[in-house]
Structure 1
Amino acid sequence: MLNTQALTSTDVALRAENLNVYYGSTLAVRNVDLHIPRNEIIAFIGPSGCGKSTVLRCFNRMNDLIASCRVEGKITFHGSDIYAKQVDAVELRRRIGMVFQKPNPFPKSIYENVAWGARINGYQGDMDELVETSLRKAAVWDEVKDKLKQSGLSLSGGQQQRLCIARTIAIQPDVILMDEPCSALDPISTIKIEETMQQLKQDYTIIVVTHNMQQASRVSDRTAFYNAEATDKGGKVGYLVEYDHTEVMFNNPREQFTRDYVSGRFG
Protein backbone atom coordinates (compact mmCIF):
# COMPACT_ATOMS: atom_id res chain seq x y z
CA MET A 1 0.00 0.00 0.00
CA LEU A 2 1.09 3.57 -0.61
CA ASN A 3 2.78 5.47 2.22
CA THR A 4 0.56 8.48 2.99
CA GLN A 5 2.56 10.03 5.79
CA ALA A 6 3.85 12.84 3.57
CA LEU A 7 0.31 13.95 2.75
CA THR A 8 -1.40 16.42 5.07
CA SER A 9 -5.15 16.40 5.66
CA THR A 10 -5.53 19.40 3.33
CA ASP A 11 -3.89 17.42 0.50
CA VAL A 12 -6.46 14.63 0.71
CA ALA A 13 -9.94 15.06 -0.77
CA LEU A 14 -11.35 11.66 0.21
CA ARG A 15 -10.23 8.88 2.51
CA ALA A 16 -11.69 5.40 3.03
CA GLU A 17 -10.87 3.49 6.19
CA ASN A 18 -11.74 -0.18 6.71
CA LEU A 19 -14.54 0.09 4.13
CA ASN A 20 -16.83 -2.95 3.88
CA VAL A 21 -19.83 -3.10 1.57
CA TYR A 22 -22.66 -5.62 1.89
CA TYR A 23 -25.62 -6.47 -0.33
CA GLY A 24 -28.04 -7.96 2.14
CA SER A 25 -25.97 -10.34 4.25
CA THR A 26 -23.42 -10.88 1.49
CA LEU A 27 -20.06 -9.15 1.82
CA ALA A 28 -19.21 -7.66 -1.59
CA VAL A 29 -16.11 -5.59 -0.79
CA ARG A 30 -13.89 -5.92 2.26
CA ASN A 31 -11.36 -3.81 4.17
CA VAL A 32 -10.61 -1.07 1.66
CA ASP A 33 -8.22 1.60 2.90
CA LEU A 34 -7.11 4.35 0.55
CA HIS A 35 -6.78 8.10 0.20
CA ILE A 36 -7.61 10.29 -2.79
CA PRO A 37 -5.29 13.32 -3.11
CA ARG A 38 -6.70 16.59 -4.38
CA ASN A 39 -6.30 17.59 -8.03
CA GLU A 40 -5.18 14.18 -9.19
CA ILE A 41 -6.71 11.49 -11.39
CA ILE A 42 -7.07 8.17 -9.62
CA ALA A 43 -7.80 5.06 -11.71
CA PHE A 44 -9.59 2.02 -10.29
CA ILE A 45 -8.69 -1.12 -12.25
CA GLY A 46 -9.38 -4.82 -11.84
CA PRO A 47 -11.39 -7.71 -13.30
CA SER A 48 -15.17 -7.68 -13.45
CA GLY A 49 -16.86 -8.27 -10.11
CA CYS A 50 -13.98 -7.02 -7.95
CA GLY A 51 -15.87 -4.06 -6.47
CA LYS A 52 -14.40 -1.09 -8.36
CA SER A 53 -17.72 0.55 -9.15
CA THR A 54 -19.17 -0.40 -5.77
CA VAL A 55 -16.36 1.46 -4.00
CA LEU A 56 -16.70 4.40 -6.40
CA ARG A 57 -20.40 4.76 -5.59
CA CYS A 58 -19.64 4.80 -1.88
CA PHE A 59 -17.85 8.13 -2.28
CA ASN A 60 -21.05 10.02 -3.09
CA ARG A 61 -23.44 7.62 -1.39
CA MET A 62 -25.06 6.43 -4.61
CA ASN A 63 -25.25 3.02 -2.94
CA ASP A 64 -27.84 4.53 -0.59
CA LEU A 65 -30.27 4.16 -3.50
CA ILE A 66 -29.90 0.36 -3.38
CA ALA A 67 -32.16 -0.90 -0.60
CA SER A 68 -30.09 -4.00 0.17
CA CYS A 69 -26.75 -2.17 0.30
CA ARG A 70 -25.02 -1.48 3.60
CA VAL A 71 -21.71 0.31 4.10
CA GLU A 72 -19.45 -0.15 7.12
CA GLY A 73 -16.23 1.66 7.96
CA LYS A 74 -15.54 5.33 7.39
CA ILE A 75 -15.25 7.66 4.41
CA THR A 76 -14.22 11.25 4.97
CA PHE A 77 -14.49 14.16 2.53
CA HIS A 78 -12.08 16.94 3.44
CA GLY A 79 -11.96 15.35 6.90
CA SER A 80 -15.72 15.07 7.51
CA ASP A 81 -17.53 11.73 7.74
CA ILE A 82 -19.88 11.56 4.73
CA TYR A 83 -22.05 8.90 6.40
CA ALA A 84 -22.71 11.00 9.49
CA LYS A 85 -26.42 11.43 10.26
CA GLN A 86 -26.41 15.19 9.66
CA VAL A 87 -24.95 14.90 6.14
CA ASP A 88 -27.34 15.79 3.31
CA ALA A 89 -26.70 13.14 0.65
CA VAL A 90 -28.13 15.37 -2.11
CA GLU A 91 -25.71 18.17 -1.25
CA LEU A 92 -22.89 15.61 -1.03
CA ARG A 93 -23.67 14.50 -4.59
CA ARG A 94 -23.50 18.10 -5.74
CA ARG A 95 -19.98 18.38 -4.37
CA ILE A 96 -19.01 14.90 -5.55
CA GLY A 97 -20.51 14.65 -9.02
CA MET A 98 -20.75 11.56 -11.18
CA VAL A 99 -20.44 10.69 -14.88
CA PHE A 100 -21.88 7.31 -15.79
CA GLN A 101 -20.79 4.59 -18.17
CA LYS A 102 -23.46 5.32 -20.75
CA PRO A 103 -24.03 8.97 -21.73
CA ASN A 104 -27.35 10.03 -20.25
CA PRO A 105 -28.24 13.57 -21.36
CA PHE A 106 -31.66 14.85 -20.41
CA PRO A 107 -34.31 15.09 -23.18
CA LYS A 108 -33.78 18.85 -23.12
CA SER A 109 -31.77 21.35 -25.12
CA ILE A 110 -27.99 21.35 -24.88
CA TYR A 111 -28.24 24.63 -22.96
CA GLU A 112 -30.80 23.27 -20.50
CA ASN A 113 -28.81 20.08 -19.96
CA VAL A 114 -26.06 22.22 -18.47
CA ALA A 115 -28.21 24.87 -16.81
CA TRP A 116 -30.83 22.62 -15.21
CA GLY A 117 -28.79 21.26 -12.31
CA ALA A 118 -27.31 24.65 -11.50
CA ARG A 119 -30.76 26.22 -11.57
CA ILE A 120 -32.36 23.74 -9.18
CA ASN A 121 -29.38 24.18 -6.86
CA GLY A 122 -30.14 27.89 -6.65
CA TYR A 123 -27.39 29.31 -8.86
CA GLN A 124 -27.75 33.11 -8.92
CA GLY A 125 -24.98 34.09 -11.32
CA ASP A 126 -24.89 34.64 -15.08
CA MET A 127 -26.34 31.40 -16.46
CA ASP A 128 -25.13 32.03 -20.02
CA GLU A 129 -21.60 32.42 -18.72
CA LEU A 130 -21.86 29.29 -16.57
CA VAL A 131 -23.14 27.22 -19.50
CA GLU A 132 -20.37 28.42 -21.79
CA THR A 133 -17.65 27.95 -19.17
CA SER A 134 -18.85 24.44 -18.35
CA LEU A 135 -19.03 23.43 -22.01
CA ARG A 136 -15.56 24.87 -22.59
CA LYS A 137 -14.11 22.96 -19.65
CA ALA A 138 -15.68 19.80 -21.05
CA ALA A 139 -14.05 20.53 -24.44
CA VAL A 140 -17.33 20.51 -26.33
CA TRP A 141 -18.17 24.25 -26.66
CA ASP A 142 -16.76 24.69 -30.16
CA GLU A 143 -18.87 21.77 -31.39
CA VAL A 144 -22.18 22.91 -29.90
CA LYS A 145 -22.01 26.71 -29.52
CA ASP A 146 -24.18 27.29 -32.60
CA LYS A 147 -26.85 24.75 -31.66
CA LEU A 148 -27.47 25.26 -27.96
CA LYS A 149 -31.24 25.08 -28.49
CA GLN A 150 -31.02 21.65 -30.11
CA SER A 151 -31.66 18.52 -28.07
CA GLY A 152 -28.73 17.03 -26.21
CA LEU A 153 -29.90 13.69 -27.62
CA SER A 154 -29.01 14.89 -31.13
CA LEU A 155 -25.28 14.78 -30.35
CA SER A 156 -22.91 11.91 -31.04
CA GLY A 157 -22.05 9.50 -28.21
CA GLY A 158 -18.74 11.20 -27.46
CA GLN A 159 -20.33 14.65 -27.52
CA GLN A 160 -23.13 13.44 -25.25
CA GLN A 161 -20.59 12.17 -22.72
CA ARG A 162 -18.75 15.50 -22.75
CA LEU A 163 -22.13 17.25 -22.37
CA CYS A 164 -22.73 15.09 -19.29
CA ILE A 165 -19.31 16.14 -17.98
CA ALA A 166 -20.28 19.79 -18.57
CA ARG A 167 -23.56 19.18 -16.72
CA THR A 168 -21.57 17.83 -13.76
CA ILE A 169 -19.12 20.75 -13.85
CA ALA A 170 -21.97 23.28 -13.87
CA ILE A 171 -23.05 22.32 -10.34
CA GLN A 172 -19.53 23.24 -9.19
CA PRO A 173 -18.34 20.01 -7.57
CA ASP A 174 -15.01 19.39 -5.88
CA VAL A 175 -14.70 15.77 -7.04
CA ILE A 176 -15.86 14.06 -10.25
CA LEU A 177 -16.47 10.31 -10.24
CA MET A 178 -16.38 8.58 -13.63
CA ASP A 179 -17.63 5.01 -14.00
CA GLU A 180 -16.10 3.66 -17.23
CA PRO A 181 -16.90 6.91 -19.09
CA CYS A 182 -15.32 5.75 -22.37
CA SER A 183 -16.46 2.13 -22.57
CA ALA A 184 -19.22 2.94 -25.08
CA LEU A 185 -17.15 5.37 -27.15
CA ASP A 186 -14.99 5.10 -30.26
CA PRO A 187 -11.20 5.68 -30.00
CA ILE A 188 -11.32 9.31 -31.18
CA SER A 189 -14.02 10.22 -28.65
CA THR A 190 -12.08 8.34 -25.96
CA ILE A 191 -8.98 10.44 -26.63
CA LYS A 192 -11.04 13.63 -26.34
CA ILE A 193 -12.45 12.50 -23.00
CA GLU A 194 -8.95 11.65 -21.75
CA GLU A 195 -7.63 15.05 -22.84
CA THR A 196 -10.58 16.67 -21.08
CA MET A 197 -9.79 14.79 -17.89
CA GLN A 198 -6.20 16.04 -17.93
CA GLN A 199 -7.45 19.63 -18.18
CA LEU A 200 -10.11 19.13 -15.50
CA LYS A 201 -7.68 17.90 -12.83
CA GLN A 202 -6.36 21.45 -12.53
CA ASP A 203 -9.66 22.32 -10.83
CA TYR A 204 -11.12 18.99 -9.72
CA THR A 205 -10.19 15.66 -8.21
CA ILE A 206 -11.16 12.77 -10.51
CA ILE A 207 -11.69 9.08 -9.78
CA VAL A 208 -12.20 6.92 -12.86
CA VAL A 209 -13.14 3.24 -13.08
CA THR A 210 -11.72 1.69 -16.24
CA HIS A 211 -11.13 -1.75 -17.75
CA ASN A 212 -8.70 -0.18 -20.22
CA MET A 213 -5.15 -0.66 -18.92
CA GLN A 214 -3.73 1.73 -21.51
CA GLN A 215 -6.19 4.39 -20.46
CA ALA A 216 -5.30 3.99 -16.80
CA SER A 217 -1.59 4.27 -17.59
CA ARG A 218 -2.13 7.31 -19.83
CA VAL A 219 -4.40 9.47 -17.71
CA SER A 220 -3.99 8.65 -14.03
CA ASP A 221 -1.59 9.87 -11.40
CA ARG A 222 -2.29 6.92 -9.11
CA THR A 223 -3.87 3.55 -9.67
CA ALA A 224 -5.77 1.25 -7.32
CA PHE A 225 -5.91 -2.41 -8.34
CA TYR A 226 -8.81 -4.47 -7.03
CA ASN A 227 -9.24 -8.22 -7.26
CA ALA A 228 -11.85 -10.73 -6.08
CA GLU A 229 -11.62 -14.10 -4.38
CA ALA A 230 -14.12 -16.90 -4.01
CA THR A 231 -16.07 -17.23 -0.77
CA ASP A 232 -17.25 -20.35 1.03
CA LYS A 233 -20.77 -19.67 -0.25
CA GLY A 234 -19.72 -19.75 -3.88
CA GLY A 235 -19.73 -15.98 -4.42
CA LYS A 236 -16.92 -13.47 -4.75
CA VAL A 237 -15.68 -10.70 -2.48
CA GLY A 238 -13.67 -7.79 -3.82
CA TYR A 239 -10.66 -6.28 -2.09
CA LEU A 240 -7.94 -3.72 -2.75
CA VAL A 241 -4.70 -5.47 -3.69
CA GLU A 242 -2.40 -2.49 -4.19
CA TYR A 243 -2.50 1.30 -4.56
CA ASP A 244 0.39 3.46 -5.66
CA HIS A 245 1.61 5.97 -8.20
CA THR A 246 0.64 4.78 -11.67
CA GLU A 247 4.22 4.55 -12.87
CA VAL A 248 5.00 2.17 -10.01
CA MET A 249 1.84 0.12 -10.52
CA PHE A 250 2.56 -0.52 -14.19
CA ASN A 251 6.33 -0.86 -14.04
CA ASN A 252 7.26 -2.17 -10.61
CA PRO A 253 4.25 -3.25 -8.52
CA ARG A 254 4.81 -4.95 -5.19
CA GLU A 255 2.23 -7.71 -5.59
CA GLN A 256 2.35 -10.63 -8.02
CA PHE A 257 -1.41 -10.34 -8.62
CA THR A 258 -0.86 -6.76 -9.82
CA ARG A 259 2.01 -7.76 -12.11
CA ASP A 260 -0.10 -10.52 -13.62
CA TYR A 261 -3.10 -8.24 -14.20
CA VAL A 262 -1.33 -5.24 -15.75
CA SER A 263 0.69 -7.58 -17.99
CA GLY A 264 -2.51 -9.22 -19.27
CA ARG A 265 -2.02 -12.66 -17.73
CA PHE A 266 -5.57 -12.60 -16.33
CA GLY A 267 -8.65 -10.40 -16.25
Structure 2
Amino acid sequence: MTSQTPNNSEVIIHVQDLSIYYSAFRAVKNVNLEILRNKITAIIGPSGCGKSTVLRSFNRMNDFVQGAHIEGKILFHGQDIYDPAIDPVQVRQMIGMVFQRPNPFPKSIYENIAWGARINGYKGNMDDLVENTLQSAALWDEVKNDLKKSALALSGGQQQRLCIARALAVKPEIILMDEPCSALDPIATLKIEDLMRTLSEKYTIIIVTHNMQQAGRASDYTAFFTMDDDRAGLMVEYGDTSQIFTRPRDKRTEDYITGRFG
Protein backbone atom coordinates (compact mmCIF):
# COMPACT_ATOMS: atom_id res chain seq x y z
CA MET A 1 0.00 0.00 0.00
CA THR A 2 1.30 3.44 -0.93
CA SER A 3 0.07 6.75 0.45
CA GLN A 4 0.58 10.45 0.15
CA THR A 5 -0.47 12.98 2.76
CA PRO A 6 0.48 16.67 2.59
CA ASN A 7 2.26 17.81 5.72
CA ASN A 8 0.38 21.11 5.83
CA SER A 9 -3.12 19.61 5.94
CA GLU A 10 -4.97 18.71 9.13
CA VAL A 11 -5.87 15.06 9.57
CA ILE A 12 -9.45 14.75 10.88
CA ILE A 13 -9.76 10.94 10.69
CA HIS A 14 -6.83 8.61 11.21
CA VAL A 15 -7.44 4.94 10.41
CA GLN A 16 -4.92 2.61 12.01
CA ASP A 17 -4.59 -1.08 11.03
CA LEU A 18 -8.34 -1.37 10.50
CA SER A 19 -9.84 -4.81 9.84
CA ILE A 20 -13.61 -5.25 9.68
CA TYR A 21 -15.33 -8.57 10.26
CA TYR A 22 -18.79 -9.94 9.67
CA SER A 23 -18.76 -12.74 12.23
CA ALA A 24 -15.70 -14.82 11.25
CA PHE A 25 -15.33 -13.39 7.74
CA ARG A 26 -12.77 -10.61 7.42
CA ALA A 27 -14.33 -8.21 4.89
CA VAL A 28 -11.59 -5.56 5.07
CA LYS A 29 -8.04 -5.93 6.31
CA ASN A 30 -5.22 -3.72 7.55
CA VAL A 31 -6.35 -0.33 6.26
CA ASN A 32 -4.23 2.68 7.17
CA LEU A 33 -5.64 5.97 5.95
CA GLU A 34 -5.62 9.66 6.83
CA ILE A 35 -8.63 11.80 5.89
CA LEU A 36 -7.90 15.50 5.56
CA ARG A 37 -10.14 18.29 6.81
CA ASN A 38 -12.16 20.24 4.22
CA LYS A 39 -11.16 17.91 1.42
CA ILE A 40 -13.20 15.50 -0.67
CA THR A 41 -11.87 11.96 -0.51
CA ALA A 42 -13.18 9.35 -2.97
CA ILE A 43 -13.05 5.63 -2.27
CA ILE A 44 -13.06 3.59 -5.48
CA GLY A 45 -12.67 -0.05 -6.41
CA PRO A 46 -14.52 -3.08 -7.79
CA SER A 47 -17.76 -4.37 -6.30
CA GLY A 48 -17.28 -6.35 -3.11
CA CYS A 49 -13.95 -4.83 -2.10
CA GLY A 50 -15.27 -3.27 1.12
CA LYS A 51 -15.67 0.37 0.08
CA SER A 52 -19.06 0.88 1.71
CA THR A 53 -18.06 -1.25 4.69
CA VAL A 54 -15.13 1.07 5.35
CA LEU A 55 -17.29 4.16 4.84
CA ARG A 56 -19.90 2.94 7.31
CA SER A 57 -17.21 2.20 9.87
CA PHE A 58 -16.44 5.91 10.07
CA ASN A 59 -19.69 6.61 11.91
CA ARG A 60 -20.32 3.14 13.35
CA MET A 61 -23.21 2.29 11.03
CA ASN A 62 -21.87 -1.27 10.90
CA ASP A 63 -22.92 -1.57 14.55
CA PHE A 64 -26.41 -2.32 13.24
CA VAL A 65 -25.17 -5.44 11.41
CA GLN A 66 -25.24 -8.54 13.58
CA GLY A 67 -21.78 -10.02 14.03
CA ALA A 68 -19.94 -6.97 12.67
CA HIS A 69 -16.85 -5.92 14.62
CA ILE A 70 -13.50 -4.29 14.01
CA GLU A 71 -9.87 -4.59 14.92
CA GLY A 72 -7.62 -1.54 14.89
CA LYS A 73 -8.60 2.05 15.50
CA ILE A 74 -10.47 4.91 13.87
CA LEU A 75 -9.41 8.19 15.45
CA PHE A 76 -11.60 11.29 15.04
CA HIS A 77 -9.74 14.34 16.36
CA GLY A 78 -7.44 11.84 18.03
CA GLN A 79 -10.25 10.04 19.88
CA ASP A 80 -10.99 6.39 19.13
CA ILE A 81 -14.65 6.34 18.08
CA TYR A 82 -14.89 2.65 19.05
CA ASP A 83 -13.81 3.31 22.63
CA PRO A 84 -16.51 1.81 24.91
CA ALA A 85 -16.95 5.20 26.56
CA ILE A 86 -17.96 6.85 23.27
CA ASP A 87 -21.67 7.24 22.47
CA PRO A 88 -22.21 6.11 18.86
CA VAL A 89 -25.20 8.45 18.55
CA GLN A 90 -22.89 11.41 19.13
CA VAL A 91 -20.47 9.97 16.58
CA ARG A 92 -23.26 9.89 13.98
CA GLN A 93 -24.21 13.46 14.81
CA MET A 94 -20.68 14.64 14.10
CA ILE A 95 -20.19 12.31 11.12
CA GLY A 96 -23.38 12.31 9.06
CA MET A 97 -24.30 10.02 6.18
CA VAL A 98 -26.10 10.25 2.84
CA PHE A 99 -27.11 6.93 1.31
CA GLN A 100 -27.12 5.52 -2.19
CA ARG A 101 -30.81 6.08 -2.82
CA PRO A 102 -32.57 9.21 -1.57
CA ASN A 103 -34.46 8.31 1.61
CA PRO A 104 -36.44 11.35 2.76
CA PHE A 105 -38.83 10.86 5.63
CA PRO A 106 -42.53 10.62 4.63
CA LYS A 107 -43.01 14.08 6.06
CA SER A 108 -43.05 17.62 4.72
CA ILE A 109 -39.91 19.20 3.31
CA TYR A 110 -39.82 21.43 6.40
CA GLU A 111 -40.15 18.52 8.84
CA ASN A 112 -37.42 16.53 7.10
CA ILE A 113 -35.01 19.23 8.26
CA ALA A 114 -36.64 20.15 11.55
CA TRP A 115 -37.24 16.63 12.89
CA GLY A 116 -33.60 15.58 13.06
CA ALA A 117 -32.54 18.91 14.53
CA ARG A 118 -35.33 18.75 17.09
CA ILE A 119 -34.48 15.27 18.39
CA ASN A 120 -30.85 16.36 18.68
CA GLY A 121 -31.88 19.18 21.00
CA TYR A 122 -31.79 22.19 18.70
CA LYS A 123 -33.15 25.23 20.59
CA GLY A 124 -32.69 28.01 18.03
CA ASN A 125 -35.06 29.49 15.47
CA MET A 126 -36.24 26.49 13.47
CA ASP A 127 -37.44 28.55 10.49
CA ASP A 128 -33.98 30.06 10.14
CA LEU A 129 -32.32 26.65 10.45
CA VAL A 130 -34.55 25.16 7.74
CA GLU A 131 -33.90 28.05 5.38
CA ASN A 132 -30.16 28.19 5.99
CA THR A 133 -29.76 24.43 5.66
CA LEU A 134 -31.77 24.25 2.43
CA GLN A 135 -29.69 27.13 1.07
CA SER A 136 -26.52 25.24 1.96
CA ALA A 137 -27.87 22.26 0.00
CA ALA A 138 -28.70 24.45 -3.01
CA LEU A 139 -32.39 23.59 -2.68
CA TRP A 140 -34.01 26.64 -1.05
CA ASP A 141 -34.91 28.51 -4.23
CA GLU A 142 -36.64 25.42 -5.61
CA VAL A 143 -38.77 24.60 -2.55
CA LYS A 144 -39.17 27.79 -0.50
CA ASN A 145 -42.82 28.16 -1.52
CA ASP A 146 -43.63 24.47 -0.95
CA LEU A 147 -42.18 23.69 2.47
CA LYS A 148 -45.38 21.96 3.58
CA LYS A 149 -45.35 19.67 0.54
CA SER A 150 -44.37 16.04 1.04
CA ALA A 151 -40.69 15.41 0.47
CA LEU A 152 -41.69 12.32 -1.50
CA ALA A 153 -43.14 14.59 -4.21
CA LEU A 154 -39.68 15.96 -5.06
CA SER A 155 -37.59 14.67 -7.94
CA GLY A 156 -34.84 12.16 -7.20
CA GLY A 157 -32.12 14.80 -7.38
CA GLN A 158 -34.07 17.15 -5.14
CA GLN A 159 -34.69 14.36 -2.65
CA GLN A 160 -30.98 13.63 -2.48
CA ARG A 161 -30.17 17.29 -1.87
CA LEU A 162 -32.86 17.30 0.83
CA CYS A 163 -31.16 14.31 2.45
CA ILE A 164 -27.89 16.23 2.36
CA ALA A 165 -29.66 19.20 3.96
CA ARG A 166 -31.09 16.90 6.62
CA ALA A 167 -27.57 15.68 7.41
CA LEU A 168 -26.31 19.26 7.62
CA ALA A 169 -29.08 20.31 10.00
CA VAL A 170 -27.46 18.54 12.97
CA LYS A 171 -24.17 20.40 12.41
CA PRO A 172 -21.76 17.59 11.49
CA GLU A 173 -18.08 18.02 10.71
CA ILE A 174 -17.92 15.17 8.20
CA ILE A 175 -20.40 14.00 5.57
CA LEU A 176 -20.19 10.43 4.31
CA MET A 177 -21.75 9.75 0.90
CA ASP A 178 -22.32 6.18 -0.28
CA GLU A 179 -22.72 6.36 -4.07
CA PRO A 180 -25.06 9.36 -3.71
CA CYS A 181 -25.54 9.80 -7.46
CA SER A 182 -25.99 6.21 -8.60
CA ALA A 183 -29.79 6.60 -8.85
CA LEU A 184 -29.68 10.07 -10.46
CA ASP A 185 -29.58 11.36 -14.02
CA PRO A 186 -26.48 13.19 -15.34
CA ILE A 187 -27.86 16.69 -14.69
CA ALA A 188 -28.81 15.86 -11.10
CA THR A 189 -25.43 14.18 -10.65
CA LEU A 190 -23.56 17.32 -11.70
CA LYS A 191 -25.64 19.37 -9.25
CA ILE A 192 -24.62 17.05 -6.43
CA GLU A 193 -20.96 17.25 -7.48
CA ASP A 194 -21.10 21.05 -7.59
CA LEU A 195 -22.74 21.02 -4.17
CA MET A 196 -20.02 18.76 -2.78
CA ARG A 197 -17.36 21.20 -3.91
CA THR A 198 -19.16 24.10 -2.22
CA LEU A 199 -19.78 22.13 0.97
CA SER A 200 -16.11 21.14 1.24
CA GLU A 201 -15.35 24.73 2.22
CA LYS A 202 -17.05 24.00 5.55
CA TYR A 203 -17.20 20.21 5.77
CA THR A 204 -15.03 17.18 5.14
CA ILE A 205 -16.57 14.82 2.59
CA ILE A 206 -15.86 11.14 1.99
CA ILE A 207 -17.58 9.57 -0.99
CA VAL A 208 -17.80 6.01 -2.29
CA THR A 209 -18.31 5.92 -6.05
CA HIS A 210 -18.17 3.48 -8.93
CA ASN A 211 -18.04 6.41 -11.35
CA MET A 212 -14.41 7.04 -12.29
CA GLN A 213 -15.28 10.32 -13.99
CA GLN A 214 -17.02 11.49 -10.84
CA ALA A 215 -14.05 10.60 -8.66
CA GLY A 216 -11.75 12.42 -11.05
CA ARG A 217 -13.96 15.51 -11.23
CA ALA A 218 -15.12 15.87 -7.66
CA SER A 219 -12.44 14.62 -5.28
CA ASP A 220 -9.17 15.96 -3.96
CA TYR A 221 -7.85 12.58 -2.82
CA THR A 222 -8.63 9.05 -3.90
CA ALA A 223 -8.20 5.69 -2.18
CA PHE A 224 -8.25 2.60 -4.39
CA PHE A 225 -9.42 -0.68 -2.86
CA THR A 226 -9.40 -4.18 -4.27
CA MET A 227 -9.67 -7.75 -2.94
CA ASP A 228 -7.01 -10.25 -1.98
CA ASP A 229 -7.14 -13.99 -2.64
CA ASP A 230 -9.31 -14.50 0.46
CA ARG A 231 -11.89 -11.97 -0.84
CA ALA A 232 -10.94 -9.48 1.85
CA GLY A 233 -10.87 -5.83 0.86
CA LEU A 234 -7.60 -3.97 1.11
CA MET A 235 -6.43 -0.51 0.23
CA VAL A 236 -3.87 -0.62 -2.56
CA GLU A 237 -3.07 3.05 -3.04
CA TYR A 238 -4.04 6.44 -1.67
CA GLY A 239 -3.00 9.87 -2.88
CA ASP A 240 -3.83 13.07 -4.70
CA THR A 241 -6.61 12.33 -7.19
CA SER A 242 -4.67 13.69 -10.15
CA GLN A 243 -1.72 11.45 -9.26
CA ILE A 244 -3.91 8.36 -8.81
CA PHE A 245 -5.56 8.88 -12.19
CA THR A 246 -2.53 9.93 -14.22
CA ARG A 247 0.50 8.40 -12.45
CA PRO A 248 -0.69 5.46 -10.32
CA ARG A 249 2.12 3.79 -8.44
CA ASP A 250 0.57 0.32 -8.38
CA LYS A 251 -0.29 -1.67 -11.49
CA ARG A 252 -3.54 -2.84 -9.90
CA THR A 253 -4.64 0.78 -9.65
CA GLU A 254 -3.69 1.44 -13.26
CA ASP A 255 -5.55 -1.66 -14.44
CA TYR A 256 -8.71 -0.58 -12.63
CA ILE A 257 -8.55 3.06 -13.73
CA THR A 258 -8.06 2.02 -17.36
CA GLY A 259 -10.87 -0.54 -17.24
CA ARG A 260 -8.76 -3.68 -17.50
CA PHE A 261 -10.62 -5.18 -14.56
CA GLY A 262 -13.47 -4.33 -12.18
The verdict on a shared fold, with TM-score over 0.5 as the criterion, is yes
Q: Which amino acid is 1:248 matched to?
A: Q
Q: Is the 8 A contact 2:5 2:239 kept in 1?
A: no
1:132 is paired with a residue whose SS is helix
1:115 Cα deviation from its structure 2 partner: 0.8
* Pair 1:248-2:243 in alignment: yes
Cα RMSD, aligned residues only: 0.9
Unaligned runs of 5+ residues in structure 1 are: none
Aligned with residue 239 of structure 1, among 228, 234, 241: 234
Unaligned runs of 5+ residues in structure 2 are: none
Aligned sequence identity (%): 61
Question: CA 1:223–1:3 in structure 2 vs 1: closer, same or farther (change >3 Å)?
Answer: closer
Q: Provide the residue aligned with 1:6 in structure 2.
A: 7
Q: Provide the residue aligned with 2:261 in structure 1.
A: 266
Output aligned runs, 1:102-121, within 5 Å: 102-121=101-120
TM-score normalised by structure 1 residue count = 0.96
Q: Higher mean Cα deviation, 205-214 or 133-142?
A: 133-142
Output aligned runs, 1:171-250, within 5 Å: 171-231=170-230, 236-250=231-245
- Name the CA distance, whole Å, in 2 between partners of 1:221 and 1:239: 21
1:230 is paired with a residue whose SS is coil
2:145 is paired with a residue whose SS is coil
1:70 Cα deviation from its structure 2 partner: 1.0
Q: Which amino acid is 1:33 matched to?
A: N
Q: Is the 8 A contact 2:4 2:238 kept in 1?
A: no
* Pair 1:69-2:68 in alignment: yes
- How many residue pairs are counted as aligned between the two chains? 261
Q: Which amino acid is 2:166 matched to?
A: R
Q: Which amino acid is 1:230 matched to?
A: D
- Name the CA distance, whole Å, in 2 between partners of 1:187 and 1:3: 31
- Name the CA distance, whole Å, in 2 between partners of 1:242 and 1:3: 9
Q: Provide the residue aligned with 1:40 in structure 2.
A: 39
1:229 Cα deviation from its structure 2 partner: 2.3
Question: CA 1:3–1:188 in structure 2 vs 1: closer, same or farther (change >3 Å)?
Answer: closer
Q: Which amino acid is 1:237 matched to?
A: A
Question: CA 1:7–1:75 in structure 2 vs 1: closer, same or farther (change >3 Å)?
Answer: farther
- Name the CA distance, whole Å, in 2 between partners of 1:6 and 1:182: 32
1:266 Cα deviation from its structure 2 partner: 1.1
1:3 Cα deviation from its structure 2 partner: 3.7
Query: Moved runs in structure 1, 4+ residues, more than 6 A?
Result: none
